């Protein structure tokens, strides 16, 4: 079969690889000049530091098969994400943990005492938190919410936390010990030579042809036996139902001689500071030595038609529009929509790879049984 992947990010690369290994011919298109999608890394020309061009990416997972999969294509170096937050001229530990609580309230509480202390501040009148704000007030109380979450979230999403779903905050834990690992997962690390080399390794198969700088047009669908589309779902249908809302990011690069901030990611909680965070890329490769340092100040704003879509907003209006696009997708023959843009969801890399493996296997099963492959292997809503 002659198969087409739109997008050479993790979705397109992993599905392409699986189908190439099953003896299919695969052509992969990407509109950009490079592979790896938003996980693309490159060496900064001036400092030679490995740089996460579209924002900081840390690989973490509980999925053993996915961890083994990525380790087939790259050596992973141990890396633990430890994020700090600057609020009102002081630096605190994230995610909110015993150190944060003791720093913030100038206390020396032990775990049980801190739990009781925060429990007394938390708003227990909120039974079923409906918004981000209610979720935060229920779990950490007003003081910590206003310091660490309110301003940051307003900047990140461009709206008041009371208007955002609770699910956004559920991604962040609160701990009553000194564990400042940002993630809960069993496996965490950084590909030694960056994500671009990792994705190039996945794509390195005689049955795969990669065409960079080549946007895929809908009219090309009929040239292939099946298309896997990891571009924007609304874009495939020429935005006929309107544009699905995204936040985009602007990165302001600057160079520093030495060590600028002492860690990879420093968040800024105050609303008066216009950026959300600063990434100092060399701290993602602590096994390398660099004197110079490259840093990105990160600003979030509404995504316009010519901007790169980063975070799907998924508010009520967008979900109604998404439902209309899903109907269109389901009545389109020969195309499966995949990945973060094709299904309009925030997906971590490990979930993207898990879903890509499942899509490829699902497709091969359909082929064997004679069933028509669905538009979505995972329903976006």
Catalytic positions, please?
Answer: 171, 175, 247, 277, 298, 346, 348
* Separation in Å, CA 111 to CA 99, 108, 177: 10, 10, 6
Using rule CB under 6 A, residue 152 touches ligand FAD: no
Please, is 67 exposed, middle or buried when counting C-beta atoms within 10 Å of its C-beta (0-12, 13-18, 19+)? buried
Host H or E run for residue 50: strand 50-52
User: How many angstroms separate the CA atoms of 298 and 252, rounded?
Assistant: 7
Q: Which lies closer to ligand UDP via its Cβ, residue 66 or residue 94?
A: 94
Cβ 143 vs Cβ 65: under 8 Å: no
Quick one: DSSP state of residue 354?
Answer: H
Q: Give which of ligand UDP, ligand FAD, none residue 224 binds (C-beta under 5 to 8 Å, depending on kind).
A: none
DSSP 155-202: HHHSS-GGGSBTHHHHTS---SSS---S---SEEEEETTHHHHHHHHH
Q: Which of residues 2-31 bind ligand FAD (CB under 6 A)?
A: 6-12, 29-31
Using rule CB under 6 A, residue 172 touches ligand UDP: yes
Q: Which lies closer to ligand FAD via its Cβ, residue 30 or residue 134?
A: 30
Host H or E run for residue 254: strand 246-257
Q: Which lies closer to ligand UDP via its Cβ, residue 168 or residue 295?
A: 168
Cβ 381 vs Cβ 326: under 8 Å: yes
Please, is 208 exposed, middle or buried when counting C-beta atoms within 10 Å of its C-beta (0-12, 13-18, 19+)? buried
- Other CB atoms within a 10 A radius of the CB of residue 130 amount to 11
> Binding ligand UDP by CB under 6 A: which of 171, 186, 301, 330?
171
Mark 275-314 with x for binding to ligand UDP (rule: CB under 6 A) and - for no binding: ----------------------------------------
Q: Which of residues 192-221 bind ligand FAD (CB under 6 A)?
A: 215-216
Nearest to 39 by CA among 6, 13, 73, 78: 13
Using rule CB under 6 A, residue 168 touches ligand UDP: yes
Q: Which lies closer to ligand UDP via its Cβ, residue 146 or residue 241?
A: 146
Mark 69-108 with x for binding to ligand UDP (rule: CB under 6 A) and - for no binding: ----------------x--------x--------------
> Binding ligand UDP by CB under 6 A: which of 267, 293, 343, 352?
267
Q: Which lies closer to ligand FAD via its Cβ, residue 102 or residue 279?
A: 279
Q: In the complex, what is the shortest distance from the CB of residue 322 to ligand UDP, in angstroms, rounded to a whole number?
A: 19
Mark 37-66 with x for binding to ligand FAD (rule: CB under 6 A) and - for no binding: xxx---------------xxxxx-------
- Neighbour order of strands in the sheet with 59-61: 59-61, 187-191, 76-78
DSSP 267-309: EE--TTSS-SEEEEGGGG-TTS--SEEEEEEEEEEE--TTSPP
Using rule CB under 6 A, residue 152 touches ligand UDP: yes
Nearest to 281 by CA among 56, 54, 39: 56
* Region binding ligand UDP by CB under 6 A among candidate stretches 165-173, 243-251, 285-293, 358-366: 165-173
Q: How far apart are the first and last CA of the chain?
A: 31
Per rule CB under 6 A, count of chain residues that contact ligand FAD: 33
Q: Which lies closer to ligand UDP via its Cβ, residue 161 or residue 235?
A: 161
Nearest to 136 by CA among 114, 165, 108: 165
Cβ 58 vs Cβ 183: under 8 Å: yes
Cβ 236 vs Cβ 14: under 8 Å: no
Using rule CB under 6 A, residue 359 touches ligand FAD: no
Q: Which lies closer to ligand UDP via its Cβ, residue 67 or residue 149?
A: 149
* Region binding ligand UDP by CB under 6 A among candidate stretches 12-20, 152-160, 321-329, 353-361: 152-160
Chain residues in the site for ligand FAD (CB under 6 A): 6-12, 29-32, 37-39, 55-59, 215-216, 230-231, 310-311, 339-341, 347-350, 352
Chain residues in the site for ligand UDP (CB under 6 A): 85, 94, 148-149, 152-153, 156, 168-169, 171-172, 267, 269
């Amino acid at each position: 079969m002659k198969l087409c992947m739109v997008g050479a990010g993790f979705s397109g690369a992993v599905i392409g690889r699986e189908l190439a290994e099953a003896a299919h011919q695969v052509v992969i298109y990407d509109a950009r000049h490079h592979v790896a999608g938003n996980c693309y890394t490159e060496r900064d020309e001036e400092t030679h530091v490995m740089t996460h061009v579209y924002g900081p990416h840390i690989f973490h997972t509980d999925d053993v098969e996915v961890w083994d999969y990525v380790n087939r294509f790259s050596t992973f170096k141990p890396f633990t994400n430890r994020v700090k937050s600057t609020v009102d001229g002081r630096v605190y530990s994230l995610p909110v943990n015993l150190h944060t609580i003791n720093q913030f309230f100038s206390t020396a509480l032990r775990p049980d005492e801190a739990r009781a202390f925060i429990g007394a501040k938390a708003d227990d009148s909120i039974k079923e938190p409906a918004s981000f704000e209610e979720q935060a007030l229920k779990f950490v109380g007003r003081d910590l919410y206003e310091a660490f979450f309110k301003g940051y979230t307003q900047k990140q999403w461009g709206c008041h936390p009371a208007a955002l779903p609770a699910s956004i905050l559920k991604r962040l834990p609160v701990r009553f010990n000194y564990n400042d690992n940002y993630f809960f997962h069993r496996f965490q690390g950084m590909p030694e030579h960056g994500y671009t080399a990792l994705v190039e390794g996945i794509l390195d198969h005689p049955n795969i042809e990669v065409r960079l700088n080549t946007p895929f047009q809908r009219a090309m669908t009929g040239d292939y036996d099946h298309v896997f589309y990891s571009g924007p779902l609304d874009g495939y249908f020429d935005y006929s139902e309107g544009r699905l809302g995204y936040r985009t990011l602007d990165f302001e690069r600057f160079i520093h001689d030495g060590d600028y901030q002492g860690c990879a990611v420093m968040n800024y909680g105050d609303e008066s500071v216009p950026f959300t965070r600063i990434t100092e890329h060399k701290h993602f490769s602590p096994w390398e030595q660099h004197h110079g340092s490259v840093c990105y100040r990160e600003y979030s704003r509404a995504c316009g038609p010519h901007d790169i879509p980063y975070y799907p907003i998924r508010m009520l209006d967008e979900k109604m529009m998404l439902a209309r696009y899903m109907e269109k997708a389901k009545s389109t023959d020969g195309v499966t929509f995949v990945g973060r843009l094709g299904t309009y969801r925030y997906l971590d890399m490990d979930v993207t790879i898990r879903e890509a493996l499942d899509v490829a296997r699902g497709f091969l099963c359909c082929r064997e049984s004679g069933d028509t492959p669905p538009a979505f292997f995972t329903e976006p809503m």
